Amino acid sequence: MTILSSLIGFYTHVTVALIPAKSLLLVSFALSLAGGAALAQTDSTALGGIAGIIRDQAKNPIAGATITATKLDDNTTRTATSGADGTYALHDVLPGRYSVMAQIAGYQEFTVSSVMVVAGQTVDMADITLVPAGTGAVTNAAHGGFWKRLAQVYADDWHDRTPDVPAPKFRGYEAPESNPPFPFTVWPYGGSPMIGQSNAIQPPLMTALYNGPHGEAWQASKIELYGWLDPGFNVSSSNRPGFSNAPAAYYVVPNSIQLDQATLYIERPVDTVQTDHIDWGFRVTALYGEDYRFTTSKGVFSNQLLGKNYTEGFDLVMAYFDLYVPQVADGMNIRIGRYVSLPDIEAQLAPNNYTFSHSLTYTYDCYTQEGINVTTKLNDHWMVQTGFSAGCDAAIWTKDARATGTVCVNYAWREYKDDIYACANSINSNKYAYNNLGAYYLTWYHKINSKWHFDTESWYQYERNVPSIFGSVPVENGANGAWCAAGEQTCFAPEWSVLNYVERQFGKKDTLSIRNEYFDDIKGQRTGYKDRYTEHSLSWNHWVGSSLLFRPEVRFERAYNNPAYDNGTKKNQVIVAGDVIFFY
């Protein structure tokens, strides 16, 4: 109800007794007109419009064409007729996504398959060109070829001409953050889509496809194609050949420009907001670049790293099937295939991170698993996950595969402004093999206010029976030995870490990230050095539209016991770096 109509109602209530009975009907009528006008004025600002011109191939206007706008979520329609000058207009259109069809006898039917109407704006459809009947319907021909449409998508995005769209639907609590400028909207967990939140996106490539031939078929399929290019650079105090920035990651080659990631996603996201039917989906993710060194699973194109030690390579990071069952609790998802391991603030794929570089905490734990994971949302506070896999970073068909259990519990409160995630990610004997870690995590996400939040993570990991680097038991290719005590051939090799991010948002396009961590590689099995480390970084993220991201940063780290940096010659390392992510 508007302020004006509220005041009108109040005024009527307190004065009606003072109005003579003969005048009551007239006063009531006048007030109804005033209130109705106020409501009509308010409603018009909450509506949009669609307008354009209908022409033939000679650019002459076509009068009498019927234009039908169909709302895609409920199939309601609005119609208009073009005038003598070919113009048409649909006023007071509810916000949402529409298909717009133009038709008249003697001409082919023409359809624009995806038009977004937003409150307070009229969509200018420009010229719709109808061609003589004879070859069937035309879809979106007025928008030009694919490359023209794609270029227009970027031009609109980078110049903030993309209309605001309604907030995505959700169940339960509203997402605590927005993307952009942050890498996610909901505090992250792996092994499942975000239950109760919209998991569909519309990147530039899909926008161009939706507005082109077969756009309606693309939308009906729910299949999405997208990805990014992510080149980066670093200037480091380390300068020896090879990967001498390590243990820092992912930019291990010092003083260089590298292609960190070029990715392609093919996926059909499941709809976890709806509750009336079982849904299915899948994802296949291909990656090429320097970062393959940190996603490789033994037995999956792994000879590039374990045999050839290439600087850049290819990996099929994810390949899984999702089955979503809304009838179980508040929603249950079953994931089968190769998926990113469940815990961690950070993730392998560049846009899913606050910063260009990765913490030591993330670099030296589990990356991906192959198996089955079941995620069940019990209510708005509790979620549980159980899984069975071949272990960390080992394909099912390799000798390093181990039957491995996963159990994770998530609790959210303060309407999702606080979230604790506890995860036993890899439960087995954890005897020495390729990355056969026992790993136990605890993560806390806390939103302070609309501008600030922080994330804190800690884990404890270990492997048993790890060969001593001073003994005679051979180590496995790609799996470090341990700094065991004198006389030991093998030993128990644990490590622990604690990591904190403090995040500050500036407007809709900029964030500042402050990262601090402590990492204790007690037996040197993870980094290759028996050492205690601290790492501190400062990063600024700036978005241009929603398809271009700049992430410059500065980082300082120290190894306290042994010189671990610059090929084992320095205890300290300073890096100035940055990357650019171009989304398509």
Per-residue model confidence as pLDDT tens digits over 347-379: 999 999 999 999 999 999 999 999 999 999 999
What is the model's pLDDT at position 164? 61
Task: Assess whether pLDDT exceeds 70 at residue 28.
Answer: no
pTM: 0.79
Give which of 274, 283, 170, 171 is closest to 223, Cα–Cα.
Answer: 283
Task: Assess whether pLDDT exceeds 90 at residue 509.
Answer: yes
What is the model's pLDDT at position 92? 92
Give which of 429, 179, 458, 515 is closest to 343, Cα–Cα.
Answer: 458
Higher pLDDT, 12 or 393: 393
Rounded distance, CA 154 to CA 160, Å?
10
Higher pLDDT, 212 or 242: 242
Task: Assess whether pLDDT exceeds 90 at residue 429.
Answer: yes
**DSSP bridge partners of 78:** 69
Q: CATH: 2.40.37.20, 3.40.1280.10, 2.40.160.10, 3.30.300.30. Which one for 204-583? A: 2.40.160.10
Cβ neighbours of 523 (radius 10 Å) = 22
Q: How large is the average pLDDT for residues 323-344? A: 97
Task: Assess whether pLDDT exceeds 70 at residue 553.
Answer: yes
Task: Assess whether pLDDT exceeds 50 at residue 436.
Answer: yes
Diameter of the chain by CA atoms?
110
User: Which percentage of the chain shows pLDDT scores above 90?
Assistant: 77
Which has the minimum average pLDDT: 39-43, 84-88, 286-290, 422-426? 39-43
Phi, psi of 306 (to 5 degrees): -75, -25
Task: Assess whether pLDDT exceeds 80 at residue 113.
Answer: no
Per DSSP bridges, beta strands 313-325 and 531-544 are: unpaired
Amino acid (1-letter code) at residue 171: R
Q: 69 and 123 in contact (C-beta within 8 Å)?
A: no
Task: Assess whether pLDDT exceeds 50 at residue 405.
Answer: yes
User: Which percentage of the chain shows pLDDT scores above 70?
Assistant: 90
Rounded distance, CA 318 to CA 324, Å?
18
Rounded distance, CA 391 to CA 315, Å?
18
Averaged pLDDT of the chain: 89
What is the model's pLDDT at position 201? 82
What is the model's pLDDT at position 516? 98
What is the model's pLDDT at position 39? 35
What is the model's pLDDT at position 58? 75
Q: How large is the average pLDDT for residues 242-264? A: 97
Q: How large is the average pLDDT for residues 160-168? A: 71
Q: CATH: 2.40.30.10, 3.30.210.10, 3.30.830.10, 2.60.40.1120. Which one for 48-142? A: 2.60.40.1120
